[in-house]
Copies of this chain bind each other. A is one copy, B any other.
Amino acid sequence: MDLYSGHINKLIEELAALPGIGSKSAQRLAFYLINLSQERVNRLANVMIEAKANVRYCKECYTLTDEEICPVCANPDRDHRTIMVVENTRDLAAYEKTGKYEGVYHVLHGAISPMLGIGPGDIKLKELIERLQGDVEEVIIATNSSLEGETTAMYISKLIKPIGVKVTRIASGVPVGGDLEYIDEVTLLRALEGRTPM
């Protein structure tokens, strides 16, 4: 049903196709945009186009960046012999936010998922193995603790171990501040298995 004029409908349609934006939010957003100044709309549109055109993979770690080499990889003070493997740039940012990790990263851009037809060849895995030709001491696997993340972690660990590089996995368990009562059984069991001496 065409409730609105052509331009408005087209805009709503495009917005509703974005992830996490339902048809109601798309309507609200569309009218918000139409009520902005032409200047503001042009700016938003240009920022989108510019970002898409200029953002690329870091040649070292494959995170999304404006430069050939991202700031982390370009920093000589980082420990380049420790590589943390993450699924995407947002996960990298989550660890950077802690301000405590001193190594570098490797961004896979996905995780192995037989269900979704994503195989080892579809993520930046070959690129990780290539990096291990250099001087690398430890690979920390920080993929999500979802089914796909765990599968990917297992796969990578089997692939790297023969090369003779130390492989570790970030701990999974009860989140800090988490209330046991609200935590799922799998996590509780994982936390139990991973218990450490006090």
Nearest residue (CB) in B for A19 is: B32
In the complex with contacts A47-B11, A51-B10, A51-B11, A89-B4 CB distance below 8 A: yes
Q: Check: A186 CB closer than 8 A to any chain B CB.
A: no
A64 interfacial contact with B, CB 8 Å: yes
Q: What distance in Å separates the Cβ of A158 from its nearest Cβ neighbour in chain B?
A: 28
- With A and B bound together, what is the CA distance between A6 and B96 in angstroms? 16
Q: How many copies does the complex hold?
A: 2
Contact at B41–A7, with CB atoms within 8 Å?
A: no
Chain B residues whose C-beta falls within 8 Å of the C-beta of A36 in the assembled complex: 52
CA distance A21 to B29 in the complex (A): 10
A101 CB within 8 Å of chain B: no
Docked pose: A66 CA to B34 CA in angstroms:
12
- The answer to whether the Cβ of A161 comes within 8 Å of any Cβ in the partner chain is no
- The 8 Å CB contact of A33, one of B29, B31, B51, B181, is B51
Interface membership of A90, Cβ < 8 A: yes
Asked whether, in the complex, the Cβ of A27 is within 8 Å of the Cβ of B90, the reply is yes
Instruction: Identify A54's interface contact among B1, B7, B14, B30, CB under 8 A.
Output: B7
* Interface contact A52-B41, CB-CB below 8 Å: yes
Q: Does A166 contact B (CB under 8 A)?
A: no
Q: Is the CB of B97 within 8 A of A47?
A: no
Interface contact B67-A5, CB-CB below 8 Å? yes
B-binding residues in A (CB < 8 A)? 1, 3-8, 10-11, 14, 18-21, 24-25, 27-34, 36, 38, 41-55, 64-67, 70-71, 88-90, 93, 96-97, 181-182
Can you list 14 A-B contacts (CB < 8 A)?
A1-B97, A3-B97, A4-B93, A5-B71, A8-B64, A10-B51, A14-B48, A21-B29, A30-B51, A33-B48, A33-B51, A33-B52, A34-B52, A36-B52
